[in-house]
Amino acid sequence: MSSRTGSSARGRAIPSALSIYLQSKTISNLSVLCEDPLWSSLRRRLTVVFTSHRLRALHSLTADKCADLVHRIRNEIQQNTYTDLRVLFADFTTDITGCASFGLGGEATLTGHSAMRRVTRHFMAYSMLRGLCWSSIFFCPQLVDVFGFSLFPESATKYFKEIFRTVVEKRGGYDRKIDEPKDLLDALLKIRQESLNDKEEISEDILVAQAAIFVEGGFDTSAGAMTYAIYELAFHPEIQNKLYEELLEAKNQYGVEGLDGNVLAGLNYFNCVIKEVTRKYSSMGWLDRIASQDYRIDDKLTISAGTPVYVNAIGMHYDPDYFPEPNKFDPDRFLPENEKNIKPFTFMPFGEGPRSCIGKRFGLQTVRYGLAHVLLNYEIKPVPDAPTPSQAKIEKRGMFLMPGEPLYVKYIPRCIT
C-alpha cells in the first residue's frame, strides 16, 4: 500500500478532486484552472505564501480573534447558552481565513454573524443538489462541465468578486508596490505583479478563486480539528492537564503576546495532541489521484494509466497494524521516540506529494492559536449525558469528516489573564 501511495504521490501532478472541487466554485470554466501548467505555476507561486515567515504577518489578526473567542465563551457561560463546538470554531476560522484572504474583517467569532460567515454557513449546509455536485466532482468530473455545476450560488461568487475588488482598490490598486505582504491577499497581489513581469498573466478571476479556495479549503477543516480536539480533551482530563501544563509554561516564559506561531509550533506535547486528533479525525478521509503511467503492483495487478486511484487514508489511520488500539485517543504515539516507528505514508491527514494540502501550516497555525487560548483560559469538561467521542455521530452526507450532531462541553474558567 505504501508503495502505491508513494508512487501516486510522486507521480506526475494531476488535479485531485479536492482541488477541482475547490476551484470550481468561483471559476465557471473549470478546465482552464485545472490545466496542469497553470496549476503548477500557481502552486509554485502560492507555496511561498504559506511559509512560516509569511504566516507571521497573521499574528495580530489571529491573536485578536483568539481574544474574541475567549470573550464569546465567557459570555456564553454568563448567559448559560452554549454554541455547538463546530459552529463556534467555524465562526472563528471564517474570520481568520476570510480576513487573511480577502482583507475584510468580520465579527463572527464574537457574534456568530458576518457577511463571510453567511457564505461559509451555506457551504456547511447539505442539499440534494449539493450532493449531486459533490458526487459528480469526485466520481464523474465530466458532468461538472456539462451541467455547469458550481457549489456556490451566483450570489456567493458575486460577493467574493465584489469584496476582492473593493479591498484591492482600498489598498491602492493592483499596481501598488508590495515589499512585505501583510496577509494572503497582499501575497496574491504580489504574485500577480511578479507573473506580469514573467509575461504570464494571472487574471483577477484566478486571484479571486485562490482567495475563495483559502477560505473554503481552510475554515471547516480547521474548525473540525479544533472541535474534535476540545471534545476529546474534555473526556481525557489527564491529557488535558499535561497539555495545559505545557501551555502554561510557555505562557509564563513568553507572555500571552509572545505565544506566536513559532512558539506554539515548538511545543512538543501540543503537536502530539494535534497529530492524534488529525489521525482519528482526518477531515478528508481519502485521497484521490489518477495514475499517470502504468504501475505494476505484482504479477496479478497492474494499474493502467488513467485509472482513478482512491487512497483510504483514514483506513490506514485506523489499521491496528499501523496504529495499535486505533480507537484510543493516545497522543503519545507521536512522541519522538514512538513516531519514528510509524510507517511512512500511513499517516496522511494533509495528503502527500505535490498535491498535498497547501494550507497545512496556515491551518495548523490557526488551530494551535485557537486551542491554546481556549485551554489556557478554560478547563474543559464533558456535559452530563453527552456522547463519548466514539459514540458521537459522524456527518454522513458531507464531504469532510465532521460531527453529525451538535457537540457541547462545559467550560470552567481558569484563574489567569
Residues at the contact surface with ligand HEM, assessed by CB under 6 A:
16, 18-19, 22, 43, 213-214, 217-218, 221-222, 225, 278, 283-284, 287, 349-352, 355-359, 362-363, 367
Nearest residue (CB) to ligand HEM, 54 versus 251: 54
Nearest residue (CB) to ligand HEM, 168 versus 357: 357
For residue 340, the tally of other CB atoms under 10 A from its CB is: 7
- Distance between alpha carbon 90 and the CA centroid of its chain, in Å? 11
Nearest residue (CB) to ligand HEM, 19 versus 24: 19
Nearest residue (CB) to ligand HEM, 289 versus 333: 289
d(CA 306, CA 182): 42
Nearest residue (CB) to ligand HEM, 22 versus 375: 22
Nearest residue (CB) to ligand HEM, 96 versus 380: 96
The least CB distance from residue 175 to ligand HEM, in Å, is 26
Task: Tell me the CB-side half-sphere exposure of residue 77, using CA atoms within 13 A.
Answer: 16
Nearest residue (CB) to ligand HEM, 230 versus 382: 230
Nearest residue (CB) to ligand HEM, 16 versus 109: 16
Q: What is the DSSP letter of 310?
A: E
d(CA 224, CA 272): 17
The least CB distance from residue 69 to ligand HEM, in Å, is 17
| 8 Å CB contact between 24 and 150 | yes
Give 154: exposed, middle or buried? Use CB within 10 Å, 0-12, 13-18, 19+: exposed
The least CB distance from residue 385 to ligand HEM, in Å, is 29
List the one residue out of 267, 229, 232 whose CA is nearest residue 246: 267
Q: What is the DSSP letter of 378?
A: E
How many angstroms separate the Cα of 408 from the Cα of each of 43, 244, 381? 38, 20, 9
The least CB distance from residue 361 to ligand HEM, in Å, is 8
| 8 Å CB contact between 88 and 70 | no
The least CB distance from residue 369 to ligand HEM, in Å, is 12
Cell numbers describing residue 8: 501516486
Nearest residue (CB) to ligand HEM, 103 versus 359: 359
One-letter amino acid of 383? V
Grid-cell match 448559560, residue found: 80
d(CA 250, CA 156): 41
Nearest residue (CB) to ligand HEM, 7 versus 16: 16
* Sign of the C-alpha dihedral computed for residues 62, 66, 72 and 75 taken in this order: negative
Residue number of the CB closest to ligand HEM reads 351
The least CB distance from residue 68 to ligand HEM, in Å, is 19
The least CB distance from residue 51 to ligand HEM, in Å, is 13
The least CB distance from residue 352 to ligand HEM, in Å, is 5
Nearest residue (CB) to ligand HEM, 264 versus 382: 264
The least CB distance from residue 19 to ligand HEM, in Å, is 3
The least CB distance from residue 210 to ligand HEM, in Å, is 8
Query: Phi and psi dihedrals of 302, rounded to 5?
Result: -125, 130
The least CB distance from residue 313 to ligand HEM, in Å, is 7
d(CA 137, CA 156): 19
| 8 Å CB contact between 174 and 193 | yes
- How many residues would you count in the chain? 417
d(CA 363, CA 284): 14
Coarse DSSP helix, strand, coil percentages of the chain, rounded to the nearest 5 percent: 60, 5, 35
